[in-house]
A and B are shown apart, each in its own frame.
Chain A
Amino acid sequence: MELLIFYMFAIVSVAFAIFMIVARKPVSSAISLIGVMFCLAVFYVLLNAHLIAALQILVYAGAIMVLFLFVIMLLNLREKQGAISYHRTALQLAGVAVFCALLVPFMSMVTIPGTSGGAGVSADFGTTAGVGKLLYTDFLLPFEIASILLLAALVGAVALTKLKMK
C-alpha cells in the first residue's frame, strides 16, 4: 500500500517537475512547482515526518509559491516568445541523464544494511510533539538564535527599503 502511494506520487511529481521546466508560461511553471511541493509533502508523510509535511505545504506550497506568483505578476512576465529551442531542451535532458548516471553508483555505496526499516528511531520521531519536545529541550539554543536571526532580517529589510536617509 505504502509502496503503491509512493510510486503514484513519485510519477506525478516527476511529471510536474518536467512540466515546470518545459512550460511556456511562467505562471504554469509556478503552478506545477506547487504540484511538486505537494507531492514532496506526501513523501514526508510516508517517511513519518508529519511536521515537516505540514510545514512543506504551509511554507513552500503556500508562502514561498505565493511570493513567486506575486513576483511573476509584478514583473508582468509574458509567455516566452517563439518556440522553445529543442536543442537546449535536449542538452538539458542529457545533463539530467548524466547526473542520474552518476547518482546510481553513489546510491549503491550508501545503502546501509539494516537501517532501511527505520531501526533505531524512536516512536514519536517526526511527529509534531516529538519535534516540539526536541526544539524546547536539546535544541533550545538554536531555536532562540532563530529569534535573533528573524529580528536581524526584519531590521535589515526595513533598513534597506523603507528607512529615510538624509
Chain B
Amino acid sequence: MASIPVPDISLGAIAPEITLALTAVVALMLEVFAEKKGRDHIAYISLVGVIVACFITFRLAGDPSWTTFSGLYVVDRFGQFFKLICLLGTGMTILVSVKYNKDEGIDNGEYYALLLFATSGMLFMVSGSDMITIFMGLEVMSISLYALAGYTRKRARSNEASVKYFILGSLSTAFLLYGIALIYGSTGSTQIDIIAKAVSSGSGVEAVLDLGIVMLMIGFAFKVSAVPFHMWTPDVYQGAPTPVTAFMSAGPKAAAFAAFFRVFNVAFPSLQADWWVIIWILAVATMTVGNVIALLQNDVKRMLAYSSIAHAGYILVGFVAGGALGSSAIMYYMLVYTFMNIGAFAIVTVVGRKGEEKTKFSDFTGLGYRYPLMAVALVIFLFSLAGIPPTAGFVGKFYIFMAALKHGYVYLAVIGVVNSVISIFYYLRLSVMMYMQDEPGEDLPPLVFAPSLIAVMIVAIYGSLWLGIMPAGYISFAQSAFLAL
C-alpha cells in the first residue's frame, strides 16, 4: 500500500482553540465530579481558560502570517485581533453570568462549556482560510448558541428564542453552504486564495459563481443580523438569558464580520466593483431600520437588540469603504462595541434582579438617585453607543465615517451620520428616565452588586472611555493587523 503523505500540522497555531475546548471539557467534568455547593469555581476556571487563550493568541500575533493544516488555517494579525475581541467578549460574559446564573438556577458546568465551545468555534471561523474551516467554526458557534439561547428552560420566551434562532439559523446556514458549494463548483476549490486566483483569471463559471457569492452574502448577512435578514434578532435577544444576549451581540458578531470580511476581500477582491453596491444597500437599510425601530421600543433588551442591528449597519459602512482604513475602522469599532455593549447588558442583569427580568424602560426610572455610580456607568455606555465624545463610540464612528469619506462614499457617510443622530434619541431617553423621573412607588428589593459584575463594569468603563481618549495605540494595532491580511 502506498504511503500517505502527512501534511504540515502545527498544533501551536490552534493552541487557543485547543485551550478553550479543553477548558470546556474540564468544566463538564467538574460539574459531574465536584461537590454541588459553590459552583462559582467552574466559572472562574473557565475564565482562566479564556485568559490563557488570550495570552497564547497574543504571543502568536507577532509573527508574520503563515498557514498550516494544508492551507486551511491561517495565523495572521487580522485573525489574532478578532480572536482577542471574541475572547474579551467571552471573558466579560462569564463574569456577567456568575451571579445571574445562580439567581436563575442555571449555574451548571454545561453553560460555561457551551460558552467555551462557541468561542472556540468563533476562533476557528476567524482564522479559517478555507470555506470548510469557516463553515465548521460557524456551526460550532451557532449550535452552542442555539442551546444557550434556550437555557432558561422554564421561561417560555427563552424557548421561543431558541427555536426561532435554530430554525432561522439553520436556513441561513443552508444558504451559506449552498453558496460555498456553488463557488466550489465554479472555481474548483474551497480555499479562499485559490478561489481568488480562479476568479481573477476568469476560469470560473460566472453564472454559478455569482449565484454562489449572493448566497454566501445572504448567509453572512443573517449571522451579522443585517436588514432584511434581521427578523430573528429582537426576539432572540429579548428571550435569551441576558448574559447570553450580551455574548451573542459581541463575539459571534465580530467573528461573523471577520469571516465575511476575509472571504470577500481575499477571495473576491477582483469583483469588488460588483458586490460593493449590495453591501452599500445592506448598510443603509440596516442602519436606518435598526435605528428607526429602536425608537419605538419600550423594553431595554429589545432596544439594545435593534441598536445592535444599527451598529451592524455602521460596521457595514466600514466594509463598503474597505482598504486599510475601512478594515481597521471595523476592527476598532468591534473592539469598542464589545466593551460598551456588554457593559450595558451587565447593568441590565443587575436591574433585572433575582428570578425575574425587569427590562422595561419604566424599571429604570429613578435609578440615577438610588444608585448614582451604576447610573453614571450606564450613561457612559449609552453615550458611547450613541457616539458622543469623549467616549470610544465616538472615535469608532468617526473612523468609520472618515474611511467612507476618504474612499468617496459621501452619501453613505451622510446617511450614517444622520442615523447616529437619530440613535441619540433613544439612548438619551433611557438616561432621561433614570434621572428625570421618580421611581415607581412600589417597594422593590435593593439591587445586588456582585464583585464579578463590578469587575465587568470597571473593564467596560475602561474600554469605553480610555479607547475614546487615547485611541491611537489601538488604531495603529488595528491598522498593522490589516496590512498582514
Contact = CB atoms under 8 A, between A and B. Distances in A.
Given A152-B117, A156-B146, A159-B147, A141 B110 contact: no
Interface in A132-153: 133, 136-142, 145-146, 148-149, 151-153
Given A149-B140, A160-B153, A165-B154, A140 B7 contact: yes
B458 interface: no
A159 B241 CA distance: 14
B147 A145 contact: no
Given A153-B143, A155-B28, A163 B133 contact: no
Contacts of B120: 148
A158 B28 CA distance: 12
Interface stretch (A67-75, A88-96, A104-112): A104-112
A80 interface: no
B114 A145 contact: no
B28 A152 contact: no
A153 B117 CA distance: 10
Contacts of B105: 165-166
Interface residues of A, number: 28
Contacts of A100: none
> Among the interface residues A146, A153, A157, which one has the most CB atoms of the partner chain B within 10 A?
A153
B147 A142 contact: no
Interface in B99-113: 105-106, 108, 110-111, 113
Contacts of B150: 160
B110 A139 contact: no
Given A148-B121, A159-B114, A137 B153 contact: no
Nearest to B124: A145
Interface size class of B (residues with CB under 8 A): 35 or more
Interface stretch (B69-77, B362-370, B434-442): B69-77
B30 interface: no
B4 A137 contact: yes
Given A112-B205, A156-B146, A142 B162 contact: no
A165 B241 CA distance: 14
B154 A145 contact: no
A157 B14 CA distance: 27
A110 B208 contact: yes
A67 to B, nearest CB: 15
Contacts of A139: 70, 72, 132
Contacts of A160: 147, 150-151, 153, 162
Nearest to A112: B205
A137 B5 contact: yes
Nearest to A141: B69
B118 A152 contact: yes
A155 B31 CA distance: 12
Nearest to B70: A138
A69 B227 CA distance: 37
B137 A145 contact: yes
B207 A106 contact: yes
Contacts of B146: 156
Contact of B207 (A110, A140, A148): A110
B21 interface: yes
Nearest to A157: B147
A32 B72 CA distance: 40
B273 interface: no
A152 B14 contact: no
B139 interface: yes
Contacts of B21: 148
A137 B147 contact: no
Contacts of A109: 205, 207-208
B6 interface: yes
A165 B152 CA distance: 9
Given A155-B28, A155-B110, A160-B162, A141 B140 contact: no
Given A136-B4, A137-B5, A138-B72, A152 B143 contact: yes
Given A136-B4, A165-B154, A156 B132 contact: no
Given A142-B132, A142-B133, A152-B140, A159 B4 contact: no
A166 B69 CA distance: 44
Contacts of A155: 28, 110, 113-114, 117, 147
Contacts of A110: 205, 207-208
B144 interface: yes
Contacts of B110: 155, 158-159, 163
Contact of B140 (A137, A148, A163): A148
Nearest to B113: A155
B151 A159 contact: yes
A106 B186 CA distance: 13
B6 to A, nearest CB: 7
A137 B4 CA distance: 8
A128 to B, nearest CB: 14
Contacts of A137: 4-7, 70
Given A110-B208, A155-B28, 6 more contacts: A136-B4, A141-B73, A145-B124, A149-B140, A151-B117, A155-B114
19 contacts: A106-B207, A109-B208, A110-B207, A137-B5, A138-B72, A140-B7, A141-B14, A142-B136, A148-B21, A149-B140, A152-B121, A152-B143, A153-B143, A156-B143, A156-B147, A156-B148, A158-B110, A159-B111, A165-B153
Closest 10 CB pairs of A and B: A156-B147, A166-B105, A152-B117, A145-B136, A141-B69, A109-B207, A159-B110, A138-B70, A142-B136, A142-B132
